[in-house]
Structure 1
Amino acid sequence: MTTTAAFDDLQEFKSAVATVRKDGTDDKYLIVAHVEGDPSKLRLIKVGQNVSDLATEVDDTQVLYILSRYERTFDMSSTVKFVYIHWIGDQVPFGKKGRYGVVQGSVQEYFNPYHLLVETSQREDLDFSIIERQLDETSGTTSKVLDNDVASGRQKRGFVASQLPQRDRQKAGGVFISKETASIEVSNDVLENIAAVRHDAEQQRWMLACYRDNNPKGPLDCLAQGEGDITEMIPHLADDLVLYGLYRVTDKVDDIVTVKFVYIQWVGEKVKPFTKAKISTNKGRLEEVFTPYHVLIFTSDRADLTDRNINEKVSSASGTKSFVK
């Protein structure tokens, strides 16, 4: 199996990259796809002028690679930032995802240098304001909010202000209510296990929640929990289940070890279309339950859930990993 991918017209791609990177041009993004689903062949398919259009340009049946340009202003100075977007359509078959994953490293090399990596299958992640916020966070122009009364030498939690929950605090247990949709019951054991993952004094590192009897109307119950790394969670990821997980990792920022939380949304390959449609109405409400978190991973592919992949996403989101050479 090939581990590299090449362009059918490399010069065309390089010319497009040059126009996107060059000051004064109207071109602000480019999109690359695989030729007829072949993991080893790449083709430039689009050059565009408005990054706000990106969410309408992606295709749920394809894996796409995007380089986009953003202009940011900080302390009265304008800077240009480049974002590399790895789009993985949620209708791409599991087997194809694996084959595309093998060449991902070689594809990424074509897009260096860049300031921010976004890997997603959700159009909302391509929203102009969300990407701009992430760029501000990675460049240090967004203030970080740390827990109060952190004892000397203890791990610190580096939530950014924009990730803190914008809602009234709810008491443990009961029903979470969203203005947009009806309420869904969240069991006390879910909230207790989330709290245990977050608590410094606890050994628990992860938890998973599922819909009772696989009914997307709820309630949401705790399925499993553990003190090990992500490999301990993997056996519980059934292909016919929708699961929500919280995973605790650590990251090092300026020689300070910080605690980071990863929110995992698992939608198995065999989940029925009706269920997928129904759970989309629960998305905002369940994010409230798992907020705050630093990284969201939406996947149906176990290969996405390795410590290496997760640590790279955490480092990217926190700005501790540099992509500019």
Structure 2
Amino acid sequence: MSTAVDIKDKEAFQAALSSIRSDQAELARQSWALIGHVDKNPNVISLVDTDNSSQAQISDFVSKLSDDLVLYGLLRHSVTVDMTVAVKFIYVHWIGSNVPGSKKGRFGVVHGSVRAQIGDAHLTIETSSLDDLNLELITKQLEESSGVYNKVLENAKHGLPERGFTQHQVKDTKKTVQAIAVPSGPGVNANEDLMTSVKNLHSDDDPTTWVAAGFDNGDVKKPLVLLSEGTGDSDEIKNVLEDDKVIYILYRKTDVVHEVSTVKFIFIAWVGENVKPTMKGKVSTKKSAVEKLFVPHHVSMFMSSMAELSEHSIERAMSNSG
């Protein structure tokens, strides 16, 4: 079975997504696009419905979901961050509770291709429950983390010491909305230089504060390799980011709480705004495997623009983590 999808009426499909992402209309609006499989064929998708008007409501999108279908959505919402309206995009992978198990597997195989066609988002919701698509809940997740979810990965790999975890053990506050298990993506390998740098970063005796990695020659079939490392802060990290590249960063930052210094680790997945959709789809299937290579860390962040990376945004994510 093919893992790729074709798009029926591709022009209408792309026009709908482009209009949702466009800032030419009113900035703060609840635009949405609903995408489904044509005649329940896993390998063909099309635009089911969309609303990009100033009266659009996410609740209208939710009302069109069906328990016997696998559907996808791109939602546009806005939250106020530091007194500024920030536009956020939500990707919805809806797996109806009445979809037979055999079909869930068939649709799961093509999910990476579907995601590539829709593009990246600040928040991903994969669910079969309408409760997870409550506007208040979505807004709260975006406001609290601005596209960040908190996660403590306690099972260190490669013998790495759990630096900074002894003073304040962070609880896992990430809400799990993945109600249905779908096929996971392939594993990821990393070269020795990268893993040595990650190990050094976790050591109290090493001055390194960040490590950046990427796929060798930009090929997701190849191992992750060390791109750069440094002893500075987020401004220094920006020097290695490019808007057409996928880069993963592990950043070590000292958090002072009640005059007690605690080291925390932040994992950043950078997918530049100009990364090709096909590449976005490929790396989305490897996200979980990549993240495991950088354990332990307290906070995980997704970013696609330089404006999202700052000491303030990182500190806010750290504060939200507990």
Q: TM-score, normalised by structure 1?
A: 0.52
Measure, in 2, the Cα distance between the counterparts of 1:154 and 1:265. Answer: 22
Q: Which of 192, 195, 211 in structure 2 is aligned with 1:191?
A: 195
The one-letter amino acid paired with 1:158 is Q
Aligned to 1:223, the other structure's residue is in SS state strand
* Cross-structure match for 1:211: 215
Measure, in 1, the Cα distance between the counterparts of 2:72 and 2:79. Answer: 12
Whether 1:306 aligns to 2:310 is yes
Aligned to 1:184, the other structure's residue is in SS state coil
Q: Which of 158, 180, 183 in structure 1 is aligned with 2:169?
A: 158
Whether 1:121 aligns to 2:122 is yes
User: Comparing both chains, which one has the higher relative contact order based on Cα–Cα distances under 8 Å and sequence gaps of 6 or more?
Assistant: 2
* Cross-structure match for 2:257: 253
How far does residue 193 in structure 1 lie from its aligned partner after superposition? 1.4
* Cross-structure match for 1:88: 88
Q: Which of 54, 64, 74 in structure 2 is aligned with 1:59?
A: 74
Q: How does 1:169-318 map to 2 (within 5 A)?
A: 180-318=184-322
Measure, in 1, the Cα distance between the counterparts of 2:248 and 2:320. Answer: 22
How far does residue 214 in structure 1 lie from its aligned partner after superposition? 0.6
How far does residue 253 in structure 1 lie from its aligned partner after superposition? 2.9
**CA distance change for structure 1 residues 237 and 184 in 2, over 3 Å: closer, same or farther?**
same
How far does residue 123 in structure 1 lie from its aligned partner after superposition? 1.1
1:197–1:204 CA contact under 8 A, matched in 2: yes
How far does residue 238 in structure 1 lie from its aligned partner after superposition? 1.1
**CA distance change for structure 1 residues 144 and 242 in 2, over 3 Å: closer, same or farther?**
closer
Q: How does 1:27-66 map to 2 (within 5 A)?
A: 37-39=25-27, 45-46=56-57, 59-60=74-75, 62-65=76-79
How far does residue 160 in structure 1 lie from its aligned partner after superposition? 2.9
2:213–2:227 CA contact under 8 A, matched in 1: yes
Aligned to 1:217, the other structure's residue is in SS state coil
Aligned to 1:248, the other structure's residue is in SS state strand
Q: TM-score, normalised by structure 2?
A: 0.52
How far does residue 44 in structure 1 lie from its aligned partner after superposition? 7.6
2:243–2:305 CA contact under 8 A, matched in 1: no
**CA distance change for structure 1 residues 125 and 266 in 2, over 3 Å: closer, same or farther?**
farther
Measure, in 2, the Cα distance between the counterparts of 1:193 and 1:294. Answer: 18
Aligned to 2:212, the other structure's residue is in SS state strand
How far does residue 198 in structure 1 lie from its aligned partner after superposition? 1.5
How far does residue 34 in structure 1 lie from its aligned partner after superposition? 11
Measure, in 2, the Cα distance between the counterparts of 1:195 and 1:267. Answer: 24
Q: How does 1:130-169 map to 2 (within 5 A)?
A: 156=167, 158-160=169-171
How far does residue 245 in structure 1 lie from its aligned partner after superposition? 0.4
Q: Between Structure 1 and Structure 2, how many residues are aligned? A: 211
2:186–2:289 CA contact under 8 A, matched in 1: no
Measure, in 1, the Cα distance between the counterparts of 2:205 and 2:213. Answer: 22
**CA distance change for structure 1 residues 251 and 37 in 2, over 3 Å: closer, same or farther?**
farther
**CA distance change for structure 1 residues 186 and 259 in 2, over 3 Å: closer, same or farther?**
same
1:158–1:258 CA contact under 8 A, matched in 2: no
1:204–1:225 CA contact under 8 A, matched in 2: yes
Measure, in 2, the Cα distance between the counterparts of 1:299 and 1:150. Answer: 25
1:158–1:259 CA contact under 8 A, matched in 2: no
How far does residue 184 in structure 1 lie from its aligned partner after superposition? 2.4
How far does residue 229 in structure 1 lie from its aligned partner after superposition? 0.7
Measure, in 1, the Cα distance between the counterparts of 2:24 and 2:267. Answer: 34
How far does residue 35 in structure 1 lie from its aligned partner after superposition? 9.4
2:162–2:202 CA contact under 8 A, matched in 1: no
Unaligned runs of 5+ in 1: 1-32, 67-85, 92-119, 135-142, 164-178, 319-325
Measure, in 1, the Cα distance between the counterparts of 2:87 and 2:298. Answer: 20
The one-letter amino acid paired with 1:251 is D
Measure, in 2, the Cα distance between the counterparts of 1:38 and 1:252. Answer: 41
* Cross-structure match for 1:82: none
How far does residue 257 in structure 1 lie from its aligned partner after superposition? 1.8
Structure 1 segments of 4 or more deviating over 6 A?
33-36, 40-44
2:173–2:321 CA contact under 8 A, matched in 1: no
1:157–1:260 CA contact under 8 A, matched in 2: no
1:246–1:290 CA contact under 8 A, matched in 2: yes
1:159–1:293 CA contact under 8 A, matched in 2: no
1:240–1:271 CA contact under 8 A, matched in 2: yes
